[in-house]
Structures are given as structure tokens and as C-alpha cells.
């Protein structure tokens, strides 16, 4: 029997399938109080359970990047969505796997604050208060939820990850609620008519910690396409056509197999301009404006937005390393890249990936020439400096920077920013994958100049309606009009070269006398 990541998860966790039968039966009679209700039993046969959870990135929201040495995680990084967690915890931590993360005094060493239910609920009723610092909604029957627990499904992961950045489809591009029950055409892995996979089939647990899940937008040991290769290349090359396997040496699987993102009927946010925030109606009431599809395009609290569907990804080299522009870094002139993807054409570990490029405009400390943390969310009735109460950037940035132990020098400046998000979901069936002309024609989706190819023009035009192709120092100019019979100008004759005969080392051909 072939082991799958989901099977390994069940074995490694020891939470359910390896539990004694009597213990499983106790779920039906237990009364839930908090995480200690779970830990009191499960620690007996999984002694490291508590420490595993509390050492996971889902819990700590902080890590030291092994590649860059930067201290990153949600607690520390700046973004161009809601900008920063610090001083805004009650709103942001509704997606923390804990309860009560209201400010920077939260005790990360208190196991009773772990929220087991948000990841393991199978009733579909569990939800957190959006502004309650991770607290469950008072209307949820916690005991009924606790009695239902099982391994996480798509809904458990999606309740946070589909709504990251302040709303559905805001952040990732290829992740939204359409993946809960997708068609085969939308996602061949998750569709019931395809692989019917759950998130943990690919995002398997770490070997040493079954609660530390593979997959991150910080640096990782290998780029994302290795998760594809681990399954699809387990029994040898994927494609019968050797030329396609040659592409896989440089091009990530996702680039050809995710032809577009935000294609499940949900738009994704592409642009966020904080500088327009603060406008109100003549009577002082706040403004919320929506487009014809119901997407918010202006909000007094947050500014202006642009949404798009069926977006063709941009492409970037990526080797698994991500370098962040952090709070204390001096900002360069021009648009600031918040998360720079590592790798280029000269990097043997880099691949060409599809990305969502998210563009923003946000306030910064012009005097210090650094990013700045704004206090957006009023944390209590006495919080008069929060932007969503006073709509004063100077006050909000002064308060937010003081909260993180810095001084806001001022004045308030405006900086253009960008972030890049690797596209890994909404994987189309093979019959919908890109073809040669999607990339190798003028005006196509890949800009070979920006990727650093010296023969960019040849690559860009090699599949034009003009049958002449310049293969460079391989065979020079050839004519593919009669493919698989290829006319080679340098030798003045046709050779027979079917696509399946081409590999990364070259190709075989039949050349008549």
C-alpha cells in the first residue's frame, strides 16, 4: 500500500487513529472547558503534544529565518494589506490558533490558551469573534464541537487562509471559498471528481513536529514545486514528451498548470491605497462603496481597492528564499518590495514561478525613512489615537510605533509597495495546461527579458505564426512548418525530430541521405 502525506499525518500525530478505543469513546461523553480538556488525555499517548503545538509557527507567529537570519512571522513583518499586527491584535488574532491574544502581554507559554477546536472541528459550526482576540463566538456549543473532532479538512484551514488580509480572496489569489467544493476544472487536486484531496495531503506535518505544517511564505528548504515533484515524479518523469520534462528543469509545475488565479467566481484584491482613507459623507457617516459584483472598492476605514478575476500570473524566479523589508530597514527610493523572492537565471536552485503581484500605497515615517506601524483598531473605549476612531495618521503612527518600542519621527509620508505571492492552488487538469504559444509569442504571458534571458527575443517569438525559429548555438535557424520534419538551415536539409525525442541533453533525429 502506498503511503500518502495524509496517512503519515494520521500516523505521526497519534491524536485519533492510534488512540485507544476507550479514549475515542470518551469524546462522546466529555465536557469541554479549554485546551487542557484535550491535553489531559492526549498527552498520555503523545507526550510532546503541548510543546509541538506551542513551537509551531501557527502558534508563535514568529521565527528566525534560517536563510536570511531575519526575525519574521506575523508578529514582526510589515505588509501592504492591514500593515501590521502589533497594536491591532484583537482584530488580527481572530486567525491565531489561540484564545485571548489581545496584546503583547499574551502568554505564549500558557497551554490553556491553545485553540484545538479551530483546526479540528467537524461540525462546521465553530467560529471566532472577528474582533475578540481569538475568542470563540458565545453561540458556539464548544462541547458539541469537541466531541466531533477529527483531522483538519479544507474548511478548518480555509476558515483563516481563505480570508487572510482582511477578507475573502484578499491575499493569496488562488485561495478562497470556491476551493471548499471545487469543480475538476477549478482544482484537479481538491475536486471530488479529481483527487478529492485535503490541504494536509500536500501540506504534510514536519517529521519532528506533527503540528508544524509544511508550506510557508518565509524562506523554506526548497521552492514550492518540490511538493509537486515529491508525488508526481516518485515513479519517474511525468511527461511522455521529453521536451516538457526539459522545461521542468527550469519552470515550476505551477507555471503551466495554473493558467490563471481567482477563477472560481471570487475576485481577488490587486491594489490597496490607504492614502484615500478617511473620507466621509457630509453628515459624518462612513462610506462603503461596492462594485457591481459586491466587492468593496472604497471604505472610509481602509481606502481604495481594485479587484480582478481570472488573472494571468506574472512570473518570477524563486529558489525558496524570501527576504523581507522589515520595520527598521531603510527604505530604497521608488516602489519598495516588501518580500523579495530569492533566485535568478544564474541560480541552479531557482525555478520560474507564477506569482500574484499585490500593489499598495501606505503611510510611512518620512523622517526616519522606515516603515511605520499604525494603531488602526481601537483596543478599548479610551483608545482615542486609533486611526479607525480619530482618522489621524499622525496620531495613529505615533501610537503604533510607541507600542513596538520605537519613536515616530515624522512627518507622515506615502510609499508605494509591492508583495509577491506564489500561486500554488487552483491547479487545472492537464488538458487545460499552457501550450507553447501561451509563452513563446509576442505579447504572451512571460517576459523573458525581465527574467534575464540573453536570447529573450528568440524565446518570445519561437512559436509565432512565422515557422522560422532561432535555436541559437544548438541548431541555428530552423523551420518547423512541417513538424516533426524540421528544416535546418545550416545543413540545408530536413531532419525528422518528434517532440518525444528531445530531452535536457539534446535530442535524436533521423537525417535522410
* Per-residue pLDDT band at 503 (split at 50, 70, 90): low
Grid cell listed for 277 = 482613507
- Percent of the chain at pLDDT above 90? 68
Q: Which residues pair with 358 in a beta bridge?
A: 419
What pLDDT was estimated at residue 245? 84
pLDDT above 50 for 14: no
Q: How far apart (Å, rounded) are the C-alpha atoms in residues 203 and 198?
A: 9
pLDDT above 80 for 479: no
Question: How does strand 71-72 pair with strand 296-299?
Answer: unpaired
pLDDT above 60 for 283: yes
* Per-residue pLDDT band at 364 (split at 50, 70, 90): very high
What is the three-class DSSP state of 390?
Answer: helix
Comparing C-alpha atoms, which of 471, 477, 346, 352 is closest to residue 420?
352
pLDDT above 50 for 72: yes
Residue 263: CB atoms within 10 Å: 20
Q: Is residue 491 part of a domain?
A: yes
What pLDDT was estimated at residue 28? 79
What pLDDT was estimated at residue 94? 94
pLDDT above 60 for 27: yes
Q: What are phi and psi of 388, to 5 degrees?
A: -75, 5
Q: Is residue 426 part of a domain?
A: no
**Global confidence as pTM:** 0.86
Q: Is residue 1 part of a domain?
A: no
* Per-residue pLDDT band at 20 (split at 50, 70, 90): very low
Q: Which residues of 48-60 are buried (b: 16+ CB within 10 A; e: fewer)?
A: ebbebbbbbbbbe
CA end-to-end span of the chain, whole Å? 53
Angle of CA points 23, 24, 25, to nearest 5°: 90
Comparing C-alpha atoms, which of 202, 209, 201 is closest to residue 59?
209
Residue 29 structural domain = 22-63+79-150
What pLDDT was estimated at residue 10? 43
Q: How far apart (Å, rounded) are the C-alpha atoms in residues 188 and 432?
A: 10
Pick the residue with more confidence: 321 or 506? 321
The DSSP annotation for 21-33 comes to HHHHHHTTT----
Q: How far apart (Å, rounded) are the C-alpha atoms in residues 460 and 448?
A: 7
Q: Is residue 177 part of a domain?
A: no
DSSP state at residue 490: T
| Final residue of a structural domain among 117, 150, 183 | 150
pLDDT above 60 for 13: no
* Per-residue pLDDT band at 16 (split at 50, 70, 90): very low
Q: How far apart (Å, rounded) are the C-alpha atoms in residues 88 and 400?
A: 9
Q: Is residue 91 part of a domain?
A: yes
Q: Is residue 204 part of a domain?
A: no
Comparing C-alpha atoms, which of 353, 350, 348, 401 is closest to residue 374?
401
What pLDDT was estimated at residue 221? 84
* Per-residue pLDDT band at 4 (split at 50, 70, 90): very low
How far is residue 246 from each of residues 174, 252, 315, 478, 507, measured CA to CA in Å? Answer: 26, 11, 18, 19, 11
Write out pLDDT tens, residues 427-469: 999 999 998 888 887 778 998 889 998 877 667 766 656 666 7
Q: What are phi and psi of 382, to 5 degrees?
A: -85, -5
Q: What are phi and psi of 481, to 5 degrees?
A: -60, -30
| Final residue of a structural domain among 125, 150, 175 | 150
Q: How far apart (Å, rounded) are the C-alpha atoms in residues 87 and 380?
A: 11
Q: How many domains, the chain? A: 2
* Per-residue pLDDT band at 7 (split at 50, 70, 90): very low
Q: How far apart (Å, rounded) are the C-alpha atoms in residues 393 and 275?
A: 10
Question: Average of pLDDT values for 254-278?
Answer: 97
Q: Which residues pair with 213 in a beta bridge?
A: 205
What is the three-class DSSP state of 438?
Answer: helix
- Name, in order, each residue with C-beta under 8 angstroms of 401's C-beta and a sequence gap of 6 or more: 365, 372, 373, 407, 408
| Final residue of a structural domain among 150, 176, 200 | 150
Q: Is residue 487 part of a domain?
A: yes
Name the average pLDDT for the chain. Answer: 89
pLDDT above 60 for 152: yes
What is the three-class DSSP state of 54?
Answer: helix
Question: Average of pLDDT values for 328-345?
Answer: 97
- Name, in order, each residue with C-beta under 8 angstroms of 510's C-beta and a sequence gap of 6 or more: 495, 496, 497
- The full 3-state SS of 154-177, as one line of letters, equals HHHHHHHHCCCCCCCCCCCCCCCH
Comparing C-alpha atoms, which of 163, 152, 103, 154 is closest to residue 128?
163
Report residue 44 CA to chain centroid gap: 35
Write out pLDDT tens, residues 214-229: 888 898 888 888 889 8
* Per-residue pLDDT band at 61 (split at 50, 70, 90): very high
- Percent of the chain at pLDDT above 70? 91
Comparing C-alpha atoms, which of 71, 73, 68 is closest to residue 58?
73
- Name, in order, each residue with C-beta under 8 angstroms of 261's C-beta and a sequence gap of 6 or more: 173, 174, 268, 311, 313, 354, 356, 423, 425, 426
Q: Is residue 26 part of a domain?
A: yes
Amino acid at each position: 500500500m502506498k503511503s500518502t502525506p495524509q496517512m503519515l499525518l494520521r500516523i505521526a500525530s497519534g491524536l485519533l487513529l492510534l488512540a485507544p478505543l476507550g479514549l475515542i469513546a470518551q469524546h462522546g461523553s466529555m465536557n469541554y472547558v479549554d485546551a487542557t480538556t484535550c491535553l489531559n488525555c492526549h498527552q498520555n499517548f503523545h507526550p510532546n503534544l503541548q510543546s509541538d503545538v506551542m513551537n509551531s509557527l501557527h502558534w508563535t507567529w514568529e521565527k528566525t529565518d534560517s536563510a536570511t537570519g531575519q526575525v519574521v512571522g506575523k508578529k514582526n513583518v510589515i505588509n501592504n494589506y492591514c500593515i501590521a499586527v502589533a497594536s491591532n491584535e484583537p482584530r488580527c488574532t481572530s486567525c491565531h490558533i489561540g484564545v485571548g491574544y489581545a496584546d503583547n502581554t499574551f502568554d505564549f507559554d500558557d497551554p490553556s490558551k491553545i485553540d484545538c477546536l479551530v483546526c479540528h472541528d467537524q461540525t462546521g459550526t465553530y467560529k471566532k469573534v472577528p474582533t475578540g482576540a481569538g475568542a470563540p463566538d458565545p453561540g458556539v456549543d464548544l462541547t458539541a464541537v469537541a466531541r466531533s473532532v477529527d483531522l483538519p479538512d479544507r474548511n478548518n484551514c480555509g476558515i483563516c487562509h481563505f480570508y487572510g488580509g482582511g477578507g475573502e480572496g484578499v491575499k493569496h489569489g488562488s485561495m478562497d471559498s470556491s476551493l471548499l467544493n471545487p469543480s475538476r476544472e477549478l482544482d484537479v487536486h481538491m475536486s471530488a471528481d479529481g483527487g478529492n484531496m485535503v490541504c494536509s495531503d500536500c501540506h504534510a506535518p514536519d517529521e519532528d513536529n506533527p503540528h508544524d505544517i509544511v508550506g510557508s511564505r518565509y524562506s523554506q528548504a526548497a521552492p514550492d514545486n518540490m511538493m509537486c515533484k515529491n508525488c508526481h515524479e516518485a515513479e519517474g518523469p511525468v511527461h511522455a514528451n521529453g521536451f516538457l520534462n526539459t522545461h521542468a528543469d527550469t519552470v515550476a509545475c505551477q507555471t503551466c498548470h495554473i493558467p490563471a488565479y481567482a477563477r472560481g467566481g471570487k475576485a481577488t484584491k490587486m491594489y490597496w491605497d490607504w492614502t484615500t482613507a478617511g473620507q466621509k459623507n457630509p453628515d459624518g457617516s462612513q462610506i462603503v462603496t461596492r462594485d457591481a459584483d459586491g466587492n468593496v472598492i472604497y471604505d472610509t476605514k481602509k481606502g481604495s481597492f481594485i479587484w480582478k478575476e481570472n488573472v494571468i500570473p506574472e512570473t518570477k524566479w524563486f529558489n525558496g528564499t524570501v527576504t523581507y523589508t522589515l520595520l527598521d530597514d531603510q527604505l530604497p527610493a521608488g516602489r519598495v518590495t516588501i518580500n523579495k523572492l530569492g533566485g535568478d537565471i544564474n541560480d541552479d536552485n531557482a525555478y520560474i514561478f507564477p506569482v500574484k503581484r499585490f500593489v499598495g500605497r501606505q503611510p510611512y515615517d518620512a523622517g526616519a525613512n522606515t516603515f511605520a506601524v499604525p494603531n488602526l483598531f481601537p483596543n478599548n473605549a479610551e483608545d482615542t489615537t486609533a486611526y479607525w476612531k480619530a482618522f489621524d495618521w499622525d496620531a495613529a503612527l505615533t501610537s503604533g510605533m510607541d507600542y513596538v518600542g520605537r519613536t515616530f519621527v515624522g512627518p507622515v509620508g506615502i510609499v508605494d509597495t509591492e508583495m509577491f505571492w506564489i500561486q500554488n492552488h487552483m491547479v487545472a487538469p492537464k488538458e487545460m495546461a499552457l501550450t507553447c504559444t501561451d509563452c513563446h509569442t509576442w505579447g504572451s504571458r512571460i517576459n523573458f527579458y525581465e527574467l534575464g534571458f540573453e536570447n529573450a527575443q528568440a524565446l518570445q517569438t519561437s512559436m509565432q505564426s512565422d515557422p522560422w525559429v532561432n535555436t541559437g548555438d544548438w541548431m541555428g535557424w530552423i523551420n518547423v512548418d512541417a513538424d516533426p520534419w524540421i528544416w535546418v538551415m545550416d545543413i540545408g536539409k530536413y531532419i525528422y525530430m518528434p517532440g518525444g525525442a528531445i530531452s535536457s541533453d539534446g535530442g535524436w533525429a533521423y537525417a535522410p541521405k
